[in-house]
Structure 1
Amino acid sequence: MKNEDIWKKYDMEVDSNTKSEIKKEIIIKYISLVKIISGRLYNYYASNIEYEDLMSYGVIGLIDAIDKFDRTKNIKFETYASIRIRGSIIDQIRNLDWVPRSIRQKSKVLKDAYEVLDQKLGREPSNAEIAEYLGKTESEIKSMFDETSIFNVMSIEDDFKDNYKIQLKDETIDSSPEASAIKNDTLKELQLAIEKLSERDKIIINLYYYEGLTYKEIGEILKISESRVSQIHSKAIVKMRNQFK
């Protein structure tokens, strides 16, 4: 059955049992998408979680996507589901709270150093300048950015939820007109923060978040190492967080 046909059948079905069976068909049809996204994220979380767990979290996101997908909007289900699946996996991992305290501390040290130097220099500080400020080598700073990369990604989402009371990948927590206005303003600020990034940073942000590529795949495109992509990505996130400070 073609994708369009199965969705029409699902939307029109009124019998709950039959609708449930059609839903199972849709899940089976798109389970490969869960496998792809789980596989990509497993590259980063392998030392902390099993691939099967990521798959189960992803299936939760897929089911949620099926329940909330609006076919009247001009968006492919694959695109919408990918966001839901990835978000579900990261949310579940965040709930496990497995990030070591040392990683949290390193992230804060980098963020604070970046903020001080940014204000002092009036521009983005280099790794060498951050290293000098913290009394470390440039190699140590690169390693710190590499180690804190995933935590920085999760913490910027937490910043938005805690400080702006919104979830960027979903509906507002508060659906009032005031909350919607705040979300729209914040999204505009986020867009401006991205526009202030260098062209290379923008490319990496776009490839990682919008195209769903891994660091390895991005590195192959940009002809740089996977570790270097991780460092640039982490620094870009720190930079964006500083814009919202």
Structure 2
Amino acid sequence: MKSKMTKETIEYWRAWKEDKDEEAGNQLIALYRPLVDYAVQRYAATLPSSVHRDDLSSFAYQGLLDALGKFEPERDLKFETYAGWRIKGAIIDGLRQNDWVPRSVRDKARKIEEAYAVLEQTNQTSSSDHDVASYLNMTVGEVQQVMKDASLATMISVDEPVHDDDQQQIERYSVIEDDRADLPEKHLHERFIKELLAETIDRLPEKEKLVVSLVYFEELTLTEIARILDLSTSRISQLHSRALLRMKGVLRANKEHVQSM
């Protein structure tokens, strides 16, 4: 058990894990419910109005229940950390299964993602919206509208399967949970992905790099970032989407190398 837990909480965990005591389970749900509320608030601030908060709450709650069922208190891991990942994963899965983003928007977003990958691999520098628009024979306005429409798709697609030329699926982040965890090639695979993303983030334009840092390292919402940078939330969302498209493009461009490891 973690020493930071109160004696009462430790007893709830013991009763829940050993006896499946319903009252203990309910007490744990009440104790950790703020994790659900935090995740819902964070996602609700960045998603289109078509995604209802009640749906997010339902997805997040399922993630909390999943975490309570699978968590091993004796391991050296805080439940809040473990549950945070489970809740986030449940929200992402729920959003993907309900598919709020039209296929046409996904297809356009994928073309923009691929354009970023080709242009930035060729030029070895960040590409502008104008560069991508010229490459795809689109207007800058059309590119920016697709990025706005695809903001949900880019947010939930870190775990989305990548299809190779034979339509075989590989997970972008299959390295997160892998039954080959102790194998040397797994560690090489994970290190390669991390180094690749680190290099990509380092090459991002300053504002995009700052938004990525504030979202994923400081865990701020887009609304909070907008206040800090004195920009509109829609502008921050655009910068966030563009940065994710660049990173996805790099992963896609290197998928053959990833698969061969």
Equivalent residue letter for 2:110 = K
Q: Which has the higher helix share?
A: 1
Matches within 5 A, 1:218-237: 218-237=225-244
Counterpart of 1:16 (choices 4, 12, 19) is 19
Task: State the percentage of identical aligned residues.
Answer: 31
Pairwise CA distance, 1:243: 2.2
Deviating more after overlay: 32-41 vs 188-197: 188-197
Equivalent residue letter for 2:35 = L
Equivalent residue letter for 1:86 = K
1:108 is matched with 110
Structure 1 residues 44, 102: closer, same or farther in 2, change over 3 A?
A: farther
Structure 1 residues 49, 240: closer, same or farther in 2, change over 3 A?
A: closer
Structure 1 residues 186, 131: closer, same or farther in 2, change over 3 A?
A: closer
Matched, 1:183 2:190: yes
Name the CA distance, whole Å, in 2 between partners of 1:67 and 1:202: 37
Equivalent residue letter for 1:16 = D
Matches within 5 A, 1:40-55: 40-45=42-47, 47-55=49-57
2:245 counterpart SS class: helix
Name the CA distance, whole Å, in 1 between partners of 2:70 and 2:228: 34
Give yes or no for contact 2:63–2:91 (8 Å, CA) kept in 1. Answer: yes
Give yes or no for contact 2:64–2:87 (8 Å, CA) kept in 1. Answer: yes
Name the CA distance, whole Å, in 1 between partners of 2:124 and 2:177: 36
Name the CA distance, whole Å, in 2 between partners of 1:130 and 1:190: 21
Give yes or no for contact 1:164–1:183 (8 Å, CA) kept in 2. Answer: no
Name the CA distance, whole Å, in 2 between partners of 1:197 and 1:70: 39
Greater relative contact order, per chain length (Cα 8 Å cut-off, separation 6+): 2
1:172 is matched with 178
Name the CA distance, whole Å, in 1 between partners of 2:67 and 2:9: 13
Name the CA distance, whole Å, in 2 between partners of 1:160 and 1:218: 30
2:212 is matched with 205
TM-score (normalizing by structure 1): 0.82
Equivalent residue letter for 1:177 = L
1:62 is matched with 64
2:148 is matched with 146
Which string of whole-angstrom CA distances, capped at 9 and with x for unpartnered residues, describes residues 99-142 of structure 1? 20221122022123223322443321111222333343333322
Give yes or no for contact 2:214–2:225 (8 Å, CA) kept in 1. Answer: yes
Name the CA distance, whole Å, in 1 between partners of 2:147 and 2:12: 46
Name the CA distance, whole Å, in 1 between partners of 2:151 and 2:236: 10
Equivalent residue letter for 2:26 = K
Name the CA distance, whole Å, in 2 between partners of 1:160 and 1:221: 35
Name the CA distance, whole Å, in 2 between partners of 1:157 and 1:90: 8
Pairwise CA distance, 1:66: 2.6
Give yes or no for contact 1:149–1:230 (8 Å, CA) kept in 2. Answer: yes
CA RMSD of aligned residues (A): 3.0
TM-score (normalizing by structure 2): 0.77
Name the CA distance, whole Å, in 1 between partners of 2:114 and 2:63: 34
1:112 counterpart SS class: helix
Matches within 5 A, 1:97-136: 97-136=99-138
Name the CA distance, whole Å, in 1 between partners of 2:134 and 2:85: 39
Unaligned runs of 5+ in 1: none
1:163 counterpart SS class: strand
Pairwise CA distance, 1:58: 0.6
Equivalent residue letter for 1:218 = I
Name the CA distance, whole Å, in 1 between partners of 2:134 and 2:20: 65
Equivalent residue letter for 2:225 = I
